Amino acid sequence: MKLHLTLAILFLSAVIGGFAIAIQDDETATVTKREDIKELMELMNSKDMGLQVMQTMFDSVKALGTAIPENLFEDFTSEVNFDELTELIIPIYDKHFSHADIKELIAFYQTPIGKKLIEKQPDIIKESMVAGMTWGQKIGAKLVKKLREEE
């Protein structure tokens, strides 16, 4: 049980760490661009989507039969500081998008279709993760079958 719990915590930590894997020097974005990136992240409901992704991952680990205490997700998320994570992600957006790009993205997410994307994105992510898990399980089953046949 302790092994499963440790693995679950490491797995969830890796998911969160994955959001900030490409950290670079935070000084490169101008103050105005930094504020616009924060605005973009707020428009995109990044915090809510991050929580939903973590919940889906947690549920996936539980579905595998891992013995995880019910309060682990709440304990885990109570330790998450989204402001800190935002500060880690700002340089990533700064690296990949110009300030003009960020302004265009903000404008897009304020349009009806942009708002619809924001509204539908959590369901799309959740359904995509389930589809990916199902797909991965099929591939895994094929590989196990192949290995057994080779024995």
Single-letter code of the amino acid located at 74: E
Q: Could you tell me the CA-to-CA distances from 51 to 63, 105, 149 in Å, in that order? A: 18, 22, 42
Distance in angstroms (rounded) separating the CA atoms of residues 142 and 39: 45
Higher pLDDT residue, 61 or 16? 61
Could you state, in order of their start, the residue ranges of all structural domains in the chain?
Answer: 2-118
Q: How confident is the model at residue 83 (pLDDT cuts 50, 70, 90)?
A: confident
Q: How far apart are CA 41 and CA 133, in angstroms?
A: 27
- The amino acid at residue 11 is F
Q: Are the C-beta atoms of 5 and 69 separated by less than 8 Å? A: yes
Mean pLDDT of 59-81: 76
Report the pLDDT averaged over residues 56-78.
75
CA distance 121 to 133: 18
For the cut 50, the answer to whether the pLDDT of residue 127 exceeds it is: yes
**Is there a contact between 15 and 57 (Cβ–Cβ < 8 Å)?**
yes
Instruction: Return the C-alpha torsion angle 21, 24, 30, 36, nearest 10.
Output: -10
More confident residue, 26 or 47: 47
What is the pLDDT at residue 28?
52
Q: Quote the pTM value.
A: 0.63
Q: Is it the case that residue 92 has pLDDT exceeding 90? A: yes
At residue 19, does pLDDT exceed 60? no
Calculate the average pLDDT of the chain: 79
- Report pLDDT for 21: 40
The answer on pLDDT for 70 being more than 70 is yes
